[in-house]
Amino acid sequence: MQDKTQSEWVARSLRSVWHPCTQMQHHETVPLIPVSRGKGAWLYDHEGRRYLDAISSWWVNLFGHANPRINAALKDQLDTLEHAMLAGFTHEPVIELSEKLSALTGHALGHSFYASDGASAVEIALKMSFHSWRNNGKAGKQEFVCLKGSYHGETIGALAVTDVALFKDAYGPLLRASQTVMSPDARNADAAAGETAEDMARRAAADVERLFVEKADKIAAIIIEPLVQCATGMAMHEPLYLKLVRELCDRHQVHLILDEIAVGCGRTGTFFACEQAAVWPDFLCLSKGISGGYLPLSLVMTRDDIYQAFYSSDVTRGFLHSHSYTGNPLACRAALATLQIFEEDDVLEANKVKAARLTAALQPLAQHAKVRNFRQRGMIWAFDAIGATPDFSRRFFATALEHELLMRPIGATVYMMPPYILSDDEIDGLAANTLAVFDKTMAG
């Protein structure tokens, strides 16, 4: 009966659900896993098989599935207020969350504007940047700059500042053109010439400077995923790059948008990735981990001077963007519980110990003959497979399931972004099983 239940759920899903980021025909050969429940770092199917969620369910789940503290906060909130529109009304969870986030920036970023998903936050930041320049009498600043290989979401505005052909090319006719500058990806440093990762950061910043000198009067903002460009294959760069670009933005009057949707909330080792460069952007986008992986929530934090550019008796100068579930109380309450766990458990310090253990346990992979560019930043690990076949990612995913792992390589890049709650045994098992999966896939 269990086999029938499992297979029936799969069949029903394939008949009725269009799954994201998926060529659906691949599910003729690649397994679709119906999840029945989650607990801690594990997901369970209907037959009781378990899978270590080594990618935090697309980078959102920070403190495990069915976390008791977040559960309790949401149960309490359900009996108080599930939702109220945020136009003309406000409520405690959104106020407290906004205050706490601002305090985490030392109040450099004073106001938060809410949405539901990461791409929507990017759309908000792009619109705010353009509109604030227009309100300040610089309507000619309409263009945006992104990094080579960047990914910022798949809505039309976000896709326009994305540079991943697989996502973007089909929709080219719909998109507004943007400027693309060199990525500071440390893998691109010319090691033969003695170029270091910081040298690569300087070279990439010089490319930004050339563009700003030529076109700053037309550029509204540059958007960067700080420290790690995730969807392009976990391309990591030095904090120096952010510092140099911040200086260029100040000098040439260009806004800096930092997309911390994937890399914020402690993922790179500090709560905000940009802290490692000792800079604050003009707009900071958060989503994914901010709600602990519980509910859709995104937001844009911005500076008070940008907020003031919209503050007027003239309605047309206001930022009239809206989403029905903006600042949803349940999602905000989950976020508040998430921040409370960070504080009570000293998560950032605890993660340093966990990261050191996993990095040590992964050394057989780091030294593997078929691995190059093993890299780590905070709670993100990645390496590139040498000689990977075009179907490497799908075969790795299927093989990982056989070894109780949920992992989805990006092309030839294998990465891990696990929840922050792994035990020592789970860390050691993750490392050992990843090595076994890699060897089996490469032998394939």
Query: CB–CB of 63/41 below 8 Å?
Result: no
Region 281-297: what's the mean pLDDT? 98
Query: CB–CB of 270/348 below 8 Å?
Result: yes
pLDDT at 4 over 80: no
Paired strand residues for 406: 53
**pLDDT tens per residue, range 208-266:** 999 999 999 999 999 999 999 999 999 999 999 999 999 999 999 999 999 999 999 99
Assigned token pair, 297 = 């929530």
The conformation of residue 224, written as its DSSP 8-state character, comes to E
Q: What is the pLDDT of residue 68?
A: 98
Q: What is the pLDDT of residue 1?
A: 41
**pLDDT tens per residue, range 409-429:** 999 999 999 999 999 999 999
Assigned token pair, 257 = 């948008």
Amino acid identity at 46: H
Question: Which residue, 434, 331, 306, is CA-closest to 382?
Answer: 434
Query: CB–CB of 257/89 below 8 Å?
Result: no
Confidence of residue 30 (pLDDT cuts 50, 70, 90): confident
pLDDT at 201 over 50: yes
Query: CB–CB of 333/339 below 8 Å?
Result: no
Q: What is the pLDDT of residue 60?
A: 98
Confidence of residue 406 (pLDDT cuts 50, 70, 90): very high
Percent of residues, the chain, with pLDDT higher than 90: 96
pLDDT averaged over every residue in the chain: 96
Paired strand residues for 35: 45
| Ramachandran class of 34: left when φ > 0, alpha when ψ lies in -120 to 50, beta otherwise | beta
Query: CB–CB of 400/358 below 8 Å?
Result: no
pLDDT at 119 over 60: yes
Region 32-54: what's the mean pLDDT? 96
Region 104-111: what's the mean pLDDT? 97
Q: What is the pLDDT of residue 3?
A: 54
Distance CA 376, CA 333 (A): 31
Distance CA 334, CA 341 (A): 11
**pLDDT tens per residue, range 154-168:** 999 999 999 999 899
**pLDDT tens per residue, range 362-384:** 999 999 999 999 999 999 999 99
Percent of residues, the chain, with pLDDT higher than 70: 99
